[in-house]
Chains A and B, each alone.
Chain A
Amino acid sequence: MTAPALRIESLSLGIRGEDGLTPILDQVSLDVGRGEVQGLAGESGSGKTITGLTVIGLEPAKSEVTGHIWMDGDDLLKITGSALNAVRGSRVGMVFQDPGTSLHPQLKVGAQLTDHVRYHLKVGKGEALDRAAAALDRVGVGGGRDTLSRYPHEFSGGQRQRIAIAIALACDPAVLIADEPTTALDVTVQAGVLALIRSLVDSLGLAVLFITHDLGVMSAVADRVAIMRHGRIVENGDRRQVFTAPAHAYTRELLASLPGAAGGLRSREDLARIDPFGAGEGSGEGQGERSAP
């Protein structure tokens, strides 16, 4: 068996504060194979976003990190400074939740794509433009060179997220980290972006770490699903197995609270049986907000 494109091994992270070390991640291990979507699901504050950020060295200041993040024999945790910049974007791409903030509002789409291509691939302007147009084509944003001279606000939310994906993939990274890439989108727009991500995985053999709180989205797009809680992965397995025969009590609890899941809420009668003040709330963690469409 070939090595996975990305291997997160026993990753622990704590943040140093005035009253000592606050543990955030506890022994997180995940493999993301080529041509595979590894899902990482959990509620707000479970540590899923920090796991993704740590892979590209964007963990918060004052973090103390142990473990390994392997890519092609390199431990990304041991790479620092400008060498890390070479990893970001060219070997690992990242897509964030809100393309309204991840794209620069005052730069033309073309500039945002070509800056990135020229930095990593050291190519001339002409070739960078060709690559940029091809990258947009790949994500289904048409218009070619004309599109390159427009600003992000001239596009819809779904198109902006496609552009963010085009930028992330412009230098052909082997791994894409997608952190809630469809959460800010309407469901009908989300459908298109999920189909795009899946087709890129299948056609390019991309390895995707797909982070989301939405188990419906996870079920649609992921091959393997890891469930995270309080900084730990409580369950990780084949998608179908996790959804239909969850092994961990927390996974079962999560699914039971969702409409349309196996063992979840299917009718008004099911709703009458749940405790509206229920355990999901009382599990101790602050239930932070996430931004919504």
Chain B
Amino acid sequence: MSGRAPVIAARDLEVTYPGHPPVHAVRGVSFELFRGEVVGLVGESGCGKSTIAKVLTGLVRPAAGEVEYHGRPVRPLGVGRRPLAQTGIQMVFQDPGSSLNPRRPVGAQIQDGLDLAAKRARRSGRRSGAGPVGEPPADPANVRRVIGQPADAAVSPTAARLLPAGSPGRWLERVGLEAADQSRYPRSFSGGQRQRIATARALAAEPDVLIGDEPISALDASTQAKVAYLMSRLALSQGAVLLFISHDLSVVRLIADRLLVMWAGRIVESGPTEAVWSNPGHPYTKVLLGAIPAPDGAGRLPLVPPSAAAFDAPPVIHAP
């Protein structure tokens, strides 16, 4: 990965939440994300993974360290609007029932994203729809590798290609819904459909960093892999990096190029997905992988983990 500049990077992040005693949620986390990759950030409740997402988007101010986006520090959010340049970082949240506005038609909400992209493009003196700010279009070879077909085909097979690319209707089609759905309200869609709408809204802003914070865990099992796949396919076809945060390793494994495993505020293991999956090195990663029950009918109880003290070991980094 050296020689290329990361799109976004976390440098020695420390996050503390006030309390008695204060909660040290993130304890020295660094990583870099590069264009065209899907990175899975996995771990269990309280490990700090959602806090990382919030720091990356500026929603939480780190106690130490910083986030660099295209080499510039991400300014933590104040009372005003997010700096326009930082709207190239977009997020899809766990529960589309609360992240979508229930009182506005979905088309209007996607239009918000499109407006952001247009505004950013005007600022930088280029046409929107040409890809993320300051970046050449996605490397087609990279995209094909993951989606199994040319980037242009990353749309619903039935989509009528008559609508302009930058319209809410077209975005709904790209996530498998119909253009006519734009006047409907979030409540009239299923959970999986709502999460696809939230994805469309985020991607309409033409981000080059898409962060999914547990975006599939509120969905039925049969829908999870589909939504995860759609998110990765669309993000990559747009040339964005996808940081996919989840506690569910079995789905993340299918879409991620790289894994970052978090435990107790630290990254305890990182490396290419298959290397981590087939040859976990850190005791926590071993336990986490061993605890996933496989739907194979074998009747094997997952391994019961030892006490947390056994996880205190140096981080394991697999070579790319």
Least Cβ distance of A276 to chain B in Å?
4
Q: B193 to chain A: which residues have CB within 8 Å? A: 281, 287
Stretch from A25-33, A108-116, A121-129, A210-218 at the B interface: A210-218
Kindly state whether residue A280 has any CB partner on chain B within 8 Å: yes
Least Cβ distance of B299 to chain A in Å?
6
Known: A260-B250, A289-B95. A220 touches B220 (CB 8 A): no
Which residue of chain B is the closest to A267 with respect to CB atoms?
B254
Contact A277 B176 (CB under 8 A): yes
Kindly state whether residue B190 has any CB partner on chain A within 8 Å: yes
Contact string, B205-219, partner A, CB cutoff 8 A, digits 1/0? 000000000100111
Of A219, A253, A273, most B-chain CB atoms within 10 Å: A219
Contact-size category for B: 35 or more
Least Cβ distance of A261 to chain B in Å?
4
Q: Give residues 219-233 of A contacting B (CB, 8 Å).
A: 219-223
Q: Give residues 70-94 of A contacting B (CB, 8 Å).
A: none
Contact A188 B254 (CB under 8 A): no
Contact A258 B291 (CB under 8 A): no
Q: B300 to chain A: which residues have CB within 8 Å? A: 219-220
Q: A240 to chain B: which residues have CB within 8 Å? A: 297-299
Which residue of chain A is the closest to B290 with respect to CB atoms?
A191
Q: A268 to chain B: which residues have CB within 8 Å? A: 146, 254-255
Kindly state whether residue B313 has any CB partner on chain A within 8 Å: no
Stretch from A60-68, A141-149, A163-171, A192-200 at the B interface: A192-200
Contact string, B177-200, partner A, CB cutoff 8 A, digits 1/0? 000000000000011110000000
Which residue of chain A is the closest to B302 with respect to CB atoms?
A191
Kindly identify which residue among A221, A254, A259, A278 contacts B253, using a CB–CB cutoff of 8 Å: A259
Kindly identify which residue among B147, B156, B230, B302 contacts A190, using a CB–CB cutoff of 8 Å: B302
Which residue of chain B is the closest to A219 with respect to CB atoms?
B295
Main secondary structure of the interface of B (DSSP, over half): loop
Known: A186-B44, A198-B301, A281-B190. A276 touches B226 (CB 8 A): yes
Contact B302 A287 (CB under 8 A): no
Contact B297 A244 (CB under 8 A): yes
Contact B302 A253 (CB under 8 A): no
Least Cβ distance of A10 to chain B in Å?
27
Kindly state whether residue B225 has any CB partner on chain A within 8 Å: yes
Which residue of chain A is the closest to B175 with respect to CB atoms?
A277
Kindly identify which residue among B148, B291, B301 contacts A187, using a CB–CB cutoff of 8 Å: B291
Contact B295 A218 (CB under 8 A): yes
Q: B190 to chain A: which residues have CB within 8 Å? A: 281, 285-288
Which residue of chain B is the closest to A291 with respect to CB atoms?
B218
Q: A7 to chain B: which residues have CB within 8 Å? A: none
Known: A187-B247, A219-B294. A259 touches B226 (CB 8 A): no
Kindly state whether residue A43 has any CB partner on chain B within 8 Å: yes
15 CB < 8 A contacts A-B = A189-B44, A194-B301, A195-B301, A215-B295, A219-B300, A222-B299, A255-B295, A260-B295, A262-B297, A270-B254, A271-B255, A276-B227, A287-B193, A293-B45, A293-B217
Q: Which residues of B contact A (CB under 8 A)?
A: 44-45, 94-95, 97, 146-149, 156, 175-176, 190-193, 214, 217-223, 225-227, 229-230, 233, 247, 250-251, 253-255, 287-288, 290-305
